[in-house]
Structure 1
Amino acid sequence: MDEVMIRQATHKDAQAVSDLLIVSQWFTYENLFSKNYIQKLIDQYYNVQRIRKEINSISVDWHGYYVAEQSGTIVGVIGGGMTNQTTGEIYVFYLDPSMRGKGIGTRLLTHYTKIQKHIYGATEQWVAVAKGNDYGIPFYEARGFIFQFEELSYGALEAELDVSLKYKREL
């Protein structure tokens, strides 16, 4: 396997990041969320124009995207921000479905966690995982995240019954 490089996304990565996020949304949520909700998320959050803007808008609230790149191809992406002075949150974290189980997700999470901890001062880290997400839940639990509560998924309508599980770990 070619070496995987973890780095901050640049403007030229916007299309590849968008493409990966769209493929990953359908792969991960196709049987969990309504098609309408998935498409709404894609249209609102994973379009190239928004990705470009988010790549260029780094702050405490949004640290930008970090990518895993192998042989010139983006195979993973993670992003998030601080929700208060000591709490980091992962807002976006997806891997090319064909790259699962190769340690790339763990490397991305480890790299990103170091950024939240050492640059932004996070002492705890949160993530929302779709209820029934049999890819994400075991991954996070194996890395020390502990279930806290469930809530309506971000941007979902109550009638859609799309629920997220909130997990936390101490850093």
Structure 2
Amino acid sequence: MQVIKADERHIDGIAKVCTDGYWATYGDSYPKEYIQRIVKEFYNADRILNEVTTSNKHWGGYFVAVENGKVLGAGGGGMIGKAAGEIFVLYLDPDRRNEGIGTKILDALTTQQKEFGADEQWVSVGKGNQKGIPFYESRDFIFKYEKQSYGNIEGENFVSLRYYRPI
């Protein structure tokens, strides 16, 4: 298994692993309609094509964990300030958790963000996400505050937890 910068060959694999990972993470706690809306917005082929062919400090592109040509995990991030990086997305094949894949993707994103000038790193995790919260806390992310989740529409009050760590 290796972690590499994603390109056009990885679009379908990124879409699958992020969609499957999102459902596995939030399927028991968020309404089906909310999950479908988020998946449709973020994990469609057109958006991912744009995101694997665009790379700058604000969006550093996707990194993928690949084994025998199959995408096992995907993550992306960028800079949210002069010295602040953010992990925007990190999902794995739900059947391949606890193998170190997420850590390797996080390490690649961290290295990239340090190269961009980051000395701190942020991530938002859905409140109650018992896959993501322990993962980030075990990697020295510290809870800072709550905020409304991205993608809420009128009548929805989903909450994200903001975590931070120095890098």
Alignment TM class, shorter chain as reference: over 0.9
Query: What CA distance in whole angstroms lies between the structure 1 residues aligned with 2:71 and 2:2?
Result: 9
For the aligned residue pairs, the C-alpha RMSD in angstroms reads 0.9
SS in 1 for 2:89: strand
Does residue 137 of structure 2 align to residue 141 of structure 1?
A: yes
Q: Which runs of 5+ in 2 are unaligned?
A: none
For 1:3-22, list aligned pairs within 5 A: 4-22=1-19
TM-score normalised according to structure 2 size: 0.97
Q: CA deviation at 1:158?
A: 5.1
Q: Deviations over 1:109-158 (max 9, x none)?
A: 112101111x2010000000010000100010000000001111112125
| Equivalent AA in structure 2 for residue 50 of structure 1 | R
Seq. identity, %: 43
Does residue 62 of structure 2 align to residue 73 of structure 1?
A: no
Query: What CA distance in whole angstroms lies between the structure 2 residues aligned with 1:67 and 1:73?
Result: 10
| Equivalent AA in structure 2 for residue 148 of structure 1 | K
For 1:89-108, list aligned pairs within 5 A: 89-108=86-105
Greater than 4 Å deviation, 4+ residue runs: none
SS in 1 for 2:117: coil
SS in 1 for 2:81: coil
Query: What CA distance in whole angstroms lies between the structure 1 residues aligned with 2:19 and 2:39?
Result: 6
| Equivalent AA in structure 2 for residue 56 of structure 1 | T
What is the count of residue pairs matched by the alignment?
167
TM-score normalised according to structure 1 size: 0.95
Q: Deviations over 1:74-106 (max 9, x none)?
A: 001010110111000000000111111111111
Q: Deviations over 1:31-79 (max 9, x none)?
A: 2222111111111111001100111111111000000011211001010
Q: Which runs of 5+ in 1 are unaligned?
A: none
SS in 2 for 1:83: strand
